[in-house]
Amino acid sequence: MKKDTLLEIILGTIGGLVFAIGMCMCLLPEWNLFTAGVVTAIIGFIILLCIIPVYRKSHPRQKSDKKIDWSLVFTWVIGVVGSLIMGFGMSKILVGEASTSDMIVGIITGVVGLIICILNYPIHAYIKNPRD
């Protein structure tokens, strides 16, 4: 794994977590942290935007490459599914009066979704070059 790729994964994970925490702070009225949540979400979004120059440096654009990269499409689908699973786990914990069983199911589901998101790049790398 290249150093740029590891940096993309780290920035994506940290930025996504900071953004998600900021959104939770904004959207949960019980916390009374709307302004701080907006600031936190903006910081997370800026961290996520820092991925763009790192990605562009390590993946130069090919002008003759016009066909669809199905491994990239599959990677996006895995990422969306992992995010939805993690969001379901978060909503089990954060919405309403969560019982102990809701907390356990929510934490397990959230961790599974997070693992799917983290393993997304290695899956993409394997699909793209199965020989490596």
Over residues 34-64, the pLDDT tens digits come to 999 999 999 999 999 999 888 888 877 766 6
Q: Are residues 74 and 124 in the same domain?
A: yes
104, two tokens: 């356990």
pLDDT at position 109 is 94
Task: Give residue 61's region: left, alpha or beta (phi > 0; psi -120 to 50).
Answer: beta
Q: Are residues 74 and 132 in the same domain?
A: yes
Q: Which of 15, 43, 61 delimits the end of a domain?
A: 61
Q: Are residues 109 and 132 in the same domain?
A: yes
Q: Are residues 13 and 47 in the same domain?
A: yes
Q: Which of 41, 61, 81 delimits the end of a domain?
A: 61
Q: Are residues 19 and 46 in the same domain?
A: yes
121, two tokens: 């790049």
Q: Where are the alpha helices (DSSP H) in the chain?
A: 3-27, 34-49, 51-58, 70-94, 100-118, 120-128
Closest among 39, 3, 33 to 18, alpha carbons compared? 39
Q: Are residues 55 and 11 in the same domain?
A: yes
pLDDT at position 65 is 58
pLDDT at position 26 is 87
Q: Are residues 56 and 96 in the same domain?
A: no
Domain range for residue 55?
Answer: 1-61
Number of domains in the chain: 2
What is the distance of C-alpha 29 from the center of its chain? 24
Q: Are residues 73 and 51 in the same domain?
A: no
**Per-residue pLDDT in tens (0 to 9) along the chain, 132 residues:** 677 788 888 999 999 999 999 988 888 888 899 999 999 999 999 999 999 888 888 877 766 656 777 888 888 899 899 999 998 988 888 877 878 888 999 999 999 999 999 998 888 888 888 775
86, two tokens: 């993690």
How far apart (Å, rounded) are the C-alpha atoms in residues 117 and 45?
17
Q: Are residues 82 and 121 in the same domain?
A: yes
Q: Are residues 57 and 85 in the same domain?
A: no
